[in-house]
Amino acid sequence: MVEQRKPIPVAEAVQRVIDKQVFSKTEKVHIEKALGRRLAEDLVATHAVPPFDRSPYDGFAVRSADTKKASRENPVDFNVTETIGAGAVQSMPVGAFEAARIMTGAMMPAECDAVVMLELTSEPEPGVMRLKRAFNKGDNISFKGEDAVEGTVLVEKGTLINPGTIALLATFGYEYITVAVKPVVGLLATGSELLEVGEPLEPGKIRNSNALMAAAQIERAGAEVKMLGKLSDDLEACYESVRKAMQEVDILITTGGVSVGDFDFLPEVYKRLEAEVLFNKVAMRPGSVTTVAHKDGQFLFGLSGNPSACYVGFELFTRPVIQQMLGNPKPHLPLEDAVLGADFTKPNPFTRFVRGTLAIRNGQLEASPSGFNKSSAVSSLAATNCLIVLPGGTRGFTAGDHVKVALLETAESSEMPW
Amino acid sequence: MVEQRKPIPVAEAVQRVIDKQVFSKTEKVHIEKALGRRLAEDLVATHAVPPFDRSPYDGFAVRSADTKKASRENPVDFNVTETIGAGAVQSMPVGAFEAARIMTGAMMPAECDAVVMLELTSEPEPGVMRLKRAFNKGDNISFKGEDAVEGTVLVEKGTLINPGTIALLATFGYEYITVAVKPVVGLLATGSELLEVGEPLEPGKIRNSNALMAAAQIERAGAEVKMLGKLSDDLEACYESVRKAMQEVDILITTGGVSVGDFDFLPEVYKRLEAEVLFNKVAMRPGSVTTVAHKDGQFLFGLSGNPSACYVGFELFTRPVIQQMLGNPKPHLPLEDAVLGADFTKPNPFTRFVRGTLAIRNGQLEASPSGFNKSSAVSSLAATNCLIVLPGGTRGFTAGDHVKVALLETAESSEMPW
């Protein structure tokens, strides 16, 4: 009467997914639109930084040899040749006992090898700078290339572009940046109990929270969402919708309909598509019915219809595929050590991914369950910024236990952590 | 010859900024556009979750009293009245020794108080369900309100909307969400040495990396950017540009021009505007020349022209104002304990904000300087995801020292941490 499915371990399920080849496309975007995208090419220093020896202060550029005898008792005077503003270059040489007034960031005159800060000088008469101490060769100069040497790879391809990366891209004249194209992820919901968000509640029905939640997860993972509505309760129509959707998107997610109930059509749809089902049961809670199928290089993620199960299934299986398509060599959630902040007494034979809230106490990660914890739970998801990974077994866990947590709200990623 | 400025401590400078009142505006956005925005109203459970007693499994709804005598030796048969799919409601009562076939998520028939999982039943003849064990009242029911009680505030206003919040908003029918309007932050660069990102390098000049970097920081902080170009080198024109810009934006950032050099016009511009200068020197490195002025409820941030100094000044002073305008009650960067991962030997009398890279080792935060560390540094910024806060003093710091770090790439925020 009931199909028996064999659960496989989480690590094996994730491995089966990421073993499949994915394609990556690149495009050029303007630097003002590049934040949060992933570099598809190494960021190379196209010139030295600074590009020339420059003054880090407002002051005077001098030849240090001329300052050697300067002291409080024996001040030395310099004739000021000109003022070199930032962006300007010297218009005349600086000779013996001459100085050029120089602004922060301005290029050093060729003859000078030190900068004297303005506040260490006086002006006994117009056009004359008086100095009361000696300076050494190289004092107060920002040297060409001290920050970056031409040709250096400063940021590797696959890296997420943050504000600092933008500063570098601008410095080196990358006006249009080659980034990974965001894969388009389609979302199809199943479930005759589902109302749209704008509809009033009816007896026996609930609003479709999974599709909008998964859309936000897709966006957080760096991909583009295509909302494709709801699958019909008719197998034939269902199959046609999925087949058509696959032509419009790079990845297709369905929510619900992967269980073994009478109205769960997805298993039959995969069969008709002749898609390879990578697994349809994972030894995990929530989300054990998560199904992943693959057909001609395209992924079909059959996520659970339960909100928490759907959420976890996405982060464990769909996110890494999106990240791989974005060229991220570390496509997984970062898995870190943490201390459990509260008891979690309910044992389970399967690996449990408890929706958790992370805190940092004295520099140490501490994770506590976010709240109500059933696969159907929705209220705890808003406070969730990590998944607490509790290995399967017969015992519960108590506050203070050392556990692993997968971080959700971070720009970091990880190599295969399971 | 040189204006003497009195540096004030970082904490005092930040306090002077956040003590000023800011306005917050709200708007409605569609739920599909709400990720990453901040709630301007509490998210209240508009109904119980689940909204009715429902079945968490595929199985049969029964009256537990009828199962009491069921055992392996004495199986009990039930007549199946109907099938209740998810989204449907019962169409007839369930009497003694009757059962309704029920799908996951479907509403319980009023007369039943337990669910029997499908796999624990057999079908001796069509329309009959056979059971070999007893069930208790309440077994396998997801009770109305067990996840959330109607009227509960589930997420407070001011909170960042994440995928879990979206799930809740959808559940409760919030199709259009009241969120804080993103403040518009204008960016004006000063510096005759600055080339646009698309221009070829020239002797003495560098490309303007600050404006694009700050634009990305503004976006990361949740605000909108308005690029306003470059200020002229003429005081009069400069004043006019700033005055005009202030009418177009909520917050105005200028980069460069706040020092005491001959071409630093901003101090004079603030004077002409009759803006209140909250401070023009902070006891910090980099960014000591950071200036913040305030006029008729509007902030003018005069950030340094040096990339690292500009970066730090933004995160310490501008970000909290943006966050306050977004209604975030915790507007500051989170400050956490960490272990220093590498030596930083250069002492400084001022508090130092070293651009750092955070790692987690055995659940413990570890922060290391990102690289080249001058206020003019740009290469280290791409690897920066925290600021290592080193108190001023005469000594350097060594690997293993306990330090504070301000986290940059996190959805978390903090109350006044300085």
pLDDT at A371: 84
Relative to beta strand A43-44, strand A114-117 is: unpaired
Residues in chain A: 418
Same-domain status, B260 and B246: yes
Same-domain status, B221 and B309: yes
Q: How far is CA B269 from CA A347, B287, B299, in A?
A: 67, 20, 14
Strand partners, B61: B100, B115
- Answer yes or no: is A412 within a domain: no
Same-domain status, B164 and B287: no
The secondary structure of residue A314, as a DSSP letter, is I
- A169 contacts in chain B (CB < 8 Å): 197, 212
pLDDT band at A126 (very low <50, low <70, confident <90, very high): very high
Q: How far is CA A185 from CA A29, A72, A322, B277, in A?
A: 20, 73, 9, 50
- Answer yes or no: is B382 within a domain: yes
When the pLDDT of each residue in chain B is averaged and rounded to a whole number, the result is: 94
The residue of chain B nearest to residue A226, with distances taken between CA atoms, is: B32
- Answer yes or no: is A44 within a domain: yes
Largest CA distance in chain A: 104
The whole-angstrom separation of Cα A201 and Cα A323 is 37
Which of A283, A307, A325 terminates a domain? The answer is A325
Mean pLDDT of A359-387: 90
Same-domain status, B66 and B126: yes
Taking alpha carbons only, the member of B408, B179, B180, B163 closest to residue A220 is B163
- Answer yes or no: is B321 within a domain: yes
Residue type, A160: L
Choose from B5, B103, B353, B366 for mutation: most chain A CBs within 10 A. Answer: B103
- Answer yes or no: is A192 within a domain: yes
CATH assignment of the domain containing A384: 2.40.340.10
pLDDT band at A1 (very low <50, low <70, confident <90, very high): very low
For chain A, say whether B153 makes contact (Cβ under 8 Å). Answer: no
Contact B292, B12 (CB under 8 A): no
Same-domain status, A312 and A237: yes
Which of A306, A325, A344 terminates a domain? The answer is A325
Mean pLDDT of B126-130: 97
Contact map slice: B 220-249 vs A, CB within 8 A: 220, 225, 227
Which of A291, A325, A359 terminates a domain? The answer is A325
Q: How far is CA B160 from CA A10, A244, A381, B36, B316, in A?
A: 31, 36, 13, 6, 20
CATH assignment of the domain containing A257: 3.40.980.10
pLDDT band at A2 (very low <50, low <70, confident <90, very high): low
Cis before residue A286, ω within 30 degrees of 0?
Answer: yes
Total structural domains within chain A: 4
The whole-angstrom separation of Cα B139 and Cα A264 is 24
Contact map slice: B 271-310 vs A, CB within 8 A: 305, 307
Q: What is the pLDDT of residues A318-338, one digit of tens each?
A: 999 999 999 999 999 999 999
The whole-angstrom separation of Cα A245 and Cα A216 is 19
Tokens of A418: 């399971």
The better pLDDT of the pair B1, B228 is held by B228
- A365 contacts in chain B (CB < 8 Å): 360, 363-365
Contact B255, B306 (CB under 8 A): no
Q: What is the pLDDT of residues A181-198, one digit of tens each?
A: 999 999 999 888 999 999
Mean pLDDT of A231-260: 91
Tokens of B236: 């009069």
Choose from A28, A31, A35 for mutation: most chain B CBs within 10 A. Answer: A35
Mean pLDDT of A355-383: 89
- B409 contacts in chain A (CB < 8 Å): 162, 410-412
Mean pLDDT of B335-355: 93
pLDDT at A94: 98
For chain B, say whether A318 makes contact (Cβ under 8 Å). Answer: no
Neighbours of B93 (CB within 10 A): 12
Mean pLDDT of B184-212: 94
Q: Do B382 and A338 touch (CB under 8 A)?
A: no
Same-domain status, A347 and A313: no
For chain B, say whether A136 makes contact (Cβ under 8 Å). Answer: no
Contact B227, B213 (CB under 8 A): no
For chain A, say whether B337 makes contact (Cβ under 8 Å). Answer: yes
In the predicted structure, residue B93 carries a pLDDT above the cut 50 = yes
- Torsion sign across C-alpha atoms A111, A115, A118, A120: negative
For chain B, say whether A91 makes contact (Cβ under 8 Å). Answer: no
Q: Which of A86, A167, A376 sits opposite B212 (nearest CB)?
A: A167
- Answer yes or no: is A54 within a domain: no
pLDDT band at B196 (very low <50, low <70, confident <90, very high): very high
Same-domain status, B195 and B250: yes
Choose from B2, B157, B171 for mutation: most chain A CBs within 10 A. Answer: B171
The better pLDDT of the pair A417, B233 is held by A417
For chain A, say whether B194 makes contact (Cβ under 8 Å). Answer: yes
Same-domain status, B242 and B385: no
pLDDT band at B262 (very low <50, low <70, confident <90, very high): low
Contact B261, B291 (CB under 8 A): no
CATH assignment of the domain containing B169: 3.90.105.10
In the predicted structure, residue A384 carries a pLDDT above the cut 50 = yes
- Answer yes or no: is A319 within a domain: yes
In the predicted structure, residue B221 carries a pLDDT above the cut 70 = yes
Helix or strand (DSSP H, E) at A16:
helix A10-18
The better pLDDT of the pair A411, A128 is held by A128
Q: Do A365 and B362 touch (CB under 8 A)?
A: no
- Answer yes or no: is B417 within a domain: no
The lowest-confidence range among A255-264, B47-56, B372-381 is: A255-264
Q: Which of B86, B147, B211 sits opposite A379 (nearest CB)?
A: B147
Same-domain status, B39 and B91: no
The whole-angstrom separation of Cα B200 and Cα B93 is 81
Q: Which of B163, B355, B372 sits opposite A220 (nearest CB)?
A: B163
pLDDT at A234: 86
Contact B10, B126 (CB under 8 A): no
Neighbours of B354 (CB within 10 A): 26
Q: Do A207 and B154 touch (CB under 8 A)?
A: no
Compute, in degrees rounded to 10, the torsion defined by CA atoms A50, A51, A56, A57.
-160
CATH assignment of the domain containing B126: 2.170.190.11
When the pLDDT of each residue in chain A is averaged and rounded to a whole number, the result is: 94
Mean pLDDT of B32-38: 98
CA distance A100 to chain B (A): 14
The whole-angstrom separation of Cα A142 and Cα B18 is 35
Same-domain status, B195 and B280: yes
Choose from A166, A208, A308 for mutation: most chain B CBs within 10 A. Answer: A166
CA distance A278 to chain B (A): 24
For chain A, say whether B402 makes contact (Cβ under 8 Å). Answer: yes
- In total, the C-beta contacts within 8 angstroms joining chain A to chain B are 343
Strand partners, B179: B27, B39
Residue B364 belongs to what domain range? 335-407
Q: What is the share, in percent, of chain A residues with pLDDT greater than 90?
A: 86
The residue of chain B nearest to residue A381, with distances taken between CA atoms, is: B164
CA distance B229 to chain A (A): 13
For chain A, say whether B210 makes contact (Cβ under 8 Å). Answer: yes
Query: What is the secondary structure of B106-128 as a DSSP string?
Result: PBPPTT--EEEEGGGEE-SSTTE
Neighbours of B202 (CB within 10 A): 12
Q: What is the pLDDT of residues A149-185, one digit of tens each?
A: 999 999 999 999 999 999 999 999 999 999 999 999 9
ipTM: 0.94
In the predicted structure, residue B1 carries a pLDDT above the cut 60 = no
For chain A, say whether B266 makes contact (Cβ under 8 Å). Answer: no
For chain B, say whether A173 makes contact (Cβ under 8 Å). Answer: yes
pLDDT band at B260 (very low <50, low <70, confident <90, very high): low
In the predicted structure, residue B394 carries a pLDDT above the cut 90 = no
In the predicted structure, residue B309 carries a pLDDT above the cut 50 = yes
In the predicted structure, residue A77 carries a pLDDT above the cut 90 = yes
Same-domain status, B218 and B266: yes
Mean pLDDT of B108-112: 98
Q: Do A52 and B203 touch (CB under 8 A)?
A: yes
Same-domain status, A216 and A176: no
Q: Which of B118, B167, B207 sits opposite A170 (nearest CB)?
A: B207
